Each structure stands twice: as C-alpha cells, then as structure tokens.
Structure 1
Amino acid sequence: MATLSLQCNTPLTGSVVVPGDKSMSHRALMLGSLAVGETVVTGLLEGEDVLATAAAMRAMGAEIGRDDAGLWHIHGVGVGGLLQPRVALDMGNSGTSTRLLMGVIASHRITATFIGDASLSARPMRRVTEPLSTMGAQFTTAPGERLPLTMTGCCPAVPIRYVLPVASAQVKSAVLLAGLNAPGITSVVERIATRDHSERMLRGFGATVTVEDSPEGRIIAVTGEAELRPQVLTVPGDISSAAFVIVASLIVPGSDVTITNVGVNPTRDGLLRALIAMGGNIEILSPRTVGGEPVADLRVRHGALTGIEVPPEWAASMIDEYPILFVAAAFASGSTTMRGLEELRVKESDRIAVMAQGLAACGVSVDELPDGLIVHGRSGDAVAGGATIAAMLDHRIAMSFAVLALNATAAVTVDDAAPIGTSFPGFVALFQQLGAVAR
C-alpha cells in the first residue's frame, strides 16, 4: 500500500496532455472486437480498467495488441462471433467494463463469469441485469445482485424498448450493445441525456443508430444483426482526468496551465460549466472535431471562485467529476450546494460520505445531504489539512485529496495511491512536471 502526499511551493505552470478518454477507450476495444477486420486506435488509455476490457475481449476470441509506436491493433470476430471464454473475466475495479461487457455477451450464446476486486464486488448490478434479462439473458449473482456473477447470453435475443429509470450511460450502452446481435430494433429512452460516446462510435463503426427527441425523452435505437466495419480511431484526452489538473490550477495561487487535446463532448462538460459559473478562469482554445468527437485545448489560471447552487440536471454530464468539484468548492467564497447525486452513493465507494468525512478532517465545513453535499468554502484560503485520508479503493477519491493537498497548511496524505492506476497512469509524474512535489 503506497501512500501519497502532493505539495506545492510554487505555482503550477506548463502544458500537459492527459491520458485518453476512459469511456471511449472501453468502447473502442469492444466495438473493434465486434467488427470484422483490423481496427487501429491511437491514444487508448492504458490504465488498469481499460486493460481489463482488452483482456476480456481477448478471452472471447479477439486479437488485441499494442505496437512499439503505441498504436493498438484489434482484429475483431464480428457481431455474433464471440467465443466461450475458458476462464472467469477479471474486471478488477472497472464497473464500466463489467456492465458494458454484460451487454455485449447478453445476445451471444456463451456463458461468462465476472469477478472483480473488493470495491467492484460491492457494487450492485441489478440496473443492468434487469433489462438484459428481459432480452433473454440469464444471471446467477452473489447476494444483492453483485459479483461474482455468471451470465448466459441468448441468441437470438429479444429486442426491447427500455425506459431508463435513472440516468445511466452504462445501462444505456449495455442495452444498445446487446441490441447489436438482436433481430429488429432495440431502443432506450432517457429522460436526461447521458454521455453519448456509444451512439457516436456505433455510427462510426457502421451500425444503424437513430436518435430522436420525444415527449417521453431522448430515444436512441439500434438496428440489430449489425455488421460493423473496422475503424481508425483517435481517442482524445479524458475530461474526467483533466478535471484534476483544472481544479489544481484554479486553487494553487499563481498557476497557469494548458491542457491540450481534451474531449469536450457536450454530454460530458458539466464540470467546465460549473467551474466557469463559479468564476473559474478557464479558456477553451482551438475547438475542433477529432474522430467525430469535440476536442479543445484548455488554459486554466488561478483565480477567485464563488460558491453557487449547481443545477441538479447537470449531474449526468459530470457525475464522475463531483469529488473534485467538492474540492474546488472548498476554496470558493460562500457555499456551494450540489444535489441530485444519489448515483455517487453506489460508485467505487460512497463518494458523498467519503468526501464529506475527508473534507471535514481537513478543516472544511460541509453539510452531507441524502442526495449531495453543501460545501462551505474558505474564500481561497488554504485548508488546514493534517489528515490521512482513507481512499476506500476509489481512484477519484485518492486523486481529489491529492489535489486538495496542494493548497493545505499541513500535509494531506492519501492512504493508498494504487487505485489511481485504474484511470490515470502517470498522475503523479504529470503533477511533478507542473511543479508539485510528491512524498
């Protein structure tokens, strides 16, 4: 167990590139494995979560490898062509891998067992097993619909029309991926728009996907028994990883940092909207489109932040970024209220409770709500710090408190930095490049 404490005696300065988008990396591996031919991916995130997806697709027949230039080559087996895995699929800490792969397997006539680490094994899977069962898949789970989980797919699967009970890109994507090998049209209705990487990438691979607005919500439909074409893809930098650099640059006095080639998909940009509404000095430079995804460079400079009430409807566009937004709010003037975040209770940890406890231990006044948090900011002053934070095997908790430590009077130590490797390999090295010191 490796502890981590970042410190900063000078402003953060420089230009950096963050790792590739995790959501897109998972989907590129899965869809490349379901295409016939060779897909080539540049910028794939090489974190533990994405590598778990690659290992699972290899176990089901795809050939996946990385060349010396850092390009990933995927030789797919075609929709319907997945093979029976001979071993359990170890998902490590990756909820995205687990839920999306359950969708992929649901319409194939194979049986697979999913296992994971202690954190993943505590996360409920019912939100995915329920619609996939309706399509014909069968599941045997640990108590509480948790891992270890064994599923048997159904072929032909039954196409369904599924109304999402909660905003979830993972559930939406699982159903659409299952629909690829189901005869007819499978559709998902979402009342609140969630990240749309699946829809964009499915179209890019040649699937017939329609998106339309209705009084009931946004309807996304895929036509089954699809034939996917291999692609050449470039994965932009992950805004969920850039978030930690952005907030660090806002809270460390004198900082001026540029983050290049960041994905700014409008279904993922809630953190930028929130921080700009708080007065954050963020410039969006050179907006462009790369591989069908909006991309830009971000210049971020230190400045005063003001507490706001974050609209609950923004939650779907920034759900993974709330822990680091809580940190930004700790340095704002006034209070920041964030609600509509029930989803955070069932992430890698209960992110509301863990962040509330850690912030309080570092001298920040907070009010924990059933569905969110109110953070009473310190008007730009350093937090007291002096605490050791239990990250609870949660990479975003660990990184959030590592950033908080950059403007703390006494050291803030994260008890276990290892989970950071699941999504942001090179996190410490990047901050050292900008001027921070790691202990």
Structure 2
Amino acid sequence: MSTHHTKSLPPIDPMDLVGIDEQFSAEEKAVRDSVRRLCHDRIDPYVADWFEQGRINDIRGLAKELGTLGVLGMHLEGYGCAGMSATEYGLACLELEATDSGIRSLVSVQGSLAMFAIWRWGTEEQKNEWLPSMAAGEAIGCFGLTEPDIGSDPGAMRTRARRDGDDWIVDGRKTWITNGTVADVAVVWAQTDEGIRGFVVPTGTPGFSAPEIKHKLSLRASVTSELVLDDVRLPASAAFPEAGGLKGPLSCLTEARYGIVWGAMGAARSSLSAALSYASERRQFGKSIAGFQLTQQKLADMNLEYIKGVLLALHLGRRKDAGTLRPDQVSLGKLNNVREALAICRTSRTILGANGISLEYPVIRHMNNLESVLTYEGTVEMHTLVVGQAMTGQAAYR
C-alpha cells in the first residue's frame, strides 16, 4: 500500500490528535484567538492570585474589556450585541474557562442568563434600557433563581411578588448568585398569583441588598452573592410581560448550560496541557516520566475524553446554529463534559504529584472550580434523569 501522501502531513499536534481544528471556519478561529489573546494578556498572569485572594481585581474594568471584545451577550442579535454564532460563543467559553471557570461564569451569567432573559422575555423598553450597556460591560447583571432551600426544584421557590396598585412588591431570598454584589441589575424570578414571573430589578432599589458569600474553596475568582429582597417596590414596567411558569427561567438555563458544555473542555485542556508539559520535563529513575507506560496511559485516556468532549460540544454547537438543538441534548452535553473534565483534572493532578496542589500550576484551581460547575446549572442527578426521561419517556423526578 502506498504511503507517499502520508509523508507530507504536518507533525501531529499532541493537543489536537484528530485534527478537530480543521472543522472550524476562519471566522470561528479568529473569535477563538482573540478571546485567547485577551485571556493570555489580561487574566492569565493574575488569575491564580485572584483565586488565592478570593477576589477579582477591578472586575468592572475587566467587564468593560470583555465588552469591548464583544463577548458579552455575543450570541444575541441587536441592542449592541455582536450577533455571533452559537459555535463562536462556545469557542469563546472554552477559551475563557481554560483561563478560569470563574471568568467564564462572569461572561456566562452576564450574557446567557441576565442578558438573554431580558433579550428573550423583556419589553422593548427593558431591552433598550439595559442591553446596550450590558453588552459594553458598562452595566453588570445577575440572575436570581436559586434560593437557600430551593435548588433543583425551582417551581417550589418562596420569593413572592404581589401587586400593590400598579406596582409590585417583591420579598424573598436568592443564593449562590454570580455577580450579585457588583451587579447593576438583577433578573429576579418570583411566585405571583399568575404563576412564576420575571422582574428586572435595578440593584439600587430600596430594600434590595446583595451581600457577598465568603469562605468558598471553589470559583474563588468569581463574585458569589446572596440576594435579599425586603419589600422591594417595583413599577409595573419592571415585570416581564410573559414568561409565566418555569418556561422563562429554564430557557435561560439551557443557554447557560450550552456554554458550560464548551467551557468545561477549556478547564480540561488547560489541565491536560499542564500534565503533558510537566511529564515531559519531570525526570525520575533517569528519564522523563512521560516515558513510563502508566503515565502514557493516563495521558492517552485523558486526551481521548477531551477529544470526545470537544466533538460533542461542536456537534451541539452546529445543531444550535441550525435551530435543531433540544434542551435534553444540552443536558447530555453538560453531564458528560463536566464529569469528564473533572476526571481529567484529577488525573492531571496525579501526574504532577505534590506540585499538583500548588497554584503555581492551574490544575488544582480548575479541579476545585469544576466541583461547582458539576453542581450548578443542574446537578449530575437532574441531568441524568433528563437523559433518562428522553430515553424512556418517563419522568423519574416527579
């Protein structure tokens, strides 16, 4: 058999063994590369310190830089948004999370939760008031759904909005809210006599406060908050005109979960790359540990799962761009990719040995962050049951 054409192939890229890069258009690669450059220049040198300190230095300045780049609400059309494809948005999420899950969370909550909620469910007035400044990073948004006692069953939320003349009065608590303490606007979901409704709440409204949640050992380079609403009076114009029931908030969660399908593979890539580099340089018994069979088995298995995860993300991205992506398919992607990314980080940690727990390397940071990503936007259990229902037609969680 002739092998003459094989000899002209370029050398293999150890981080792209099957040539997935060829599946992306020039425009998609340009978006990816611009986000990677911003992360490399503006975030990578500092993010380990932010994680250690439990805060992002100058989060508003960072938000404006991300807005200038066009990644905030980048997959939305109009109102100052970039109108990019779902695949381009996915590649941006992958690059952001290769830097840190907390940075991807900042972008994800801004664009796929807060901005998407207003873009999809809001009035023209709400869209024009908030979306251009949020796309520019001049206003930061948060999304209030989860409550202290209500996680996977949002229909049981206790936050309540009641009518008072033409106004609404909102009372309740939300928790684990990314961006809450620094947000200018909160999208808050509440029970009403007409079912669950969404409200656009400027955070300066009397009765609204957002104390930051401290003592986290995950997503430390991210602002996480409680939202407290005590008799918050809002005008009628603050309510979304429709989005009755859970359809509204769940549509937003599907958007955010889609970004996670890609993002988790960024954390995986960063950890795998660190493990490969370390194994090549670390010498034991007279040779680099990359030359030992057990290390090569770990590297090969991790790369296999990484490749499959990126291919799955790309397939779901193409479906989303074609308008054929279903929420249960997003659940399948989120379930697989976060679980496998976490396993890749843990295995990478073993290759780095004791150095694996040091913030000099990104691995333990990604590993800790993914413990949160595994749970938020739907737990492993809930996504498992969504997939189970898609297969059997029976809902096991009702």
TM range (shorter): under 0.3
Q: TM-score, normalised by structure 1?
A: 0.26
Normalised to the residue count of structure 2, the TM-score between the two structures is 0.28
Higher strand share: 1
More helix by share: 2
